[in-house]
Amino acid sequence: GAGVSQSPSNKVTEKGKDVELRCDPISGHTALYWYRQSLGQGLEFLIYFQGNSAPDKSGLPSDRFSAERTGGSVSTLTIQRTQQEDSAVYLCASSKEREPQHFGDGTRLSIL
Amino acid sequence: EDQVTQSPEALRLQEGESSSLNCSYTVSGLRGLFWYRQDPGKGPEFLFTLYSAGEEKEKERLKATLTKKESFLHITAPKPEDSATYLCAVQDHNFNKFYFGSGTKLNVKP
């Protein structure tokens, strides 16, 4: 069956530009997570959506980062006025409530 | 603060040489401990969930165990295809968040 799909797989942009990263979760999964993984590091939690509840945004590193989830399915992570320190792999995961997460292959973001 | 520490950072084994990876954690109310495998350029792939001290799970050459403070991933007679980064994560009592360790990069040489 289809897994978690993320697009684009790679994104190169100039410092100061805005970027949008997309995540298509597994159908029927109510929970959706965004993580950031810097080179050689573990996963840094960014934001969590569960059904129709208010998202847990406590991991967003600054107000330049925002995310939304439309119709309880597709999610978009937006980074405004990108900085070089935003360069990383952004991973999305989905799950049924209280079950293990399933990850996409991520978007590799490079800020020049 | 909830924390997950994995050791060693990197491990080189000869094919067939068994070893163990460690994941120590501090969390306010463990709801689950998860092991993932991550290959280069890919997202983490789920391996195991452990919920309570004393629990064990096995899959092929891998066996995961859990105590109140740490988990071990035992690799028996590894093969080169077991080479990957192994990530450990804990889920806290709120169910919302997963805290990940930095991973152990395993290299198995033929």
pLDDT score of A99: 84
Q: The CATH number of the domain where B17 resides is what?
A: 2.60.40.10
d(CA A84, CA A99): 35
Nearest-CA residue of chain B relative to A105?
B43
Q: Are strands B32-38 and B45-50 parallel, antiparallel or unpaired?
A: antiparallel
pLDDT score of B1: 63
Domains of chain A by start residue, with CATH:
5-111 (2.60.40.10)
pLDDT score of B95: 65
- Contact criterion met (CB below 8 Å) for B8 and B107: no
- Contact criterion met (CB below 8 Å) for B101 and B88: yes
- The tally of CA atoms less than 13 A away on the side-chain side of residue B31 is 14
CA B77 distance to own-chain centroid: 17
pLDDT score of B31: 86
Owning domain of residue B105:
3-109
Which residues in chain B come in under a pLDDT of 50? none
pLDDT score of A106: 97
pLDDT score of B59: 94
- Please provide the size of chain B in residues: 110
Best to test chain A binding among B46, B51, B105 (most A CBs inside 10 Å): B46
Report the domain count for chain B: 1
Q: Kindly determine whether residue A103 and residue B87, on different chains, have CB atoms separated by under 8 Å.
A: no
pLDDT score of B92: 80
DSSP string, A6-27: EE-SEEEE-TT--EEEEEEPPT
Which residues in chain A come in under a pLDDT of 50? none
Select from B56, B78, B77, B54 the least CA-distant residue to B67.
B54
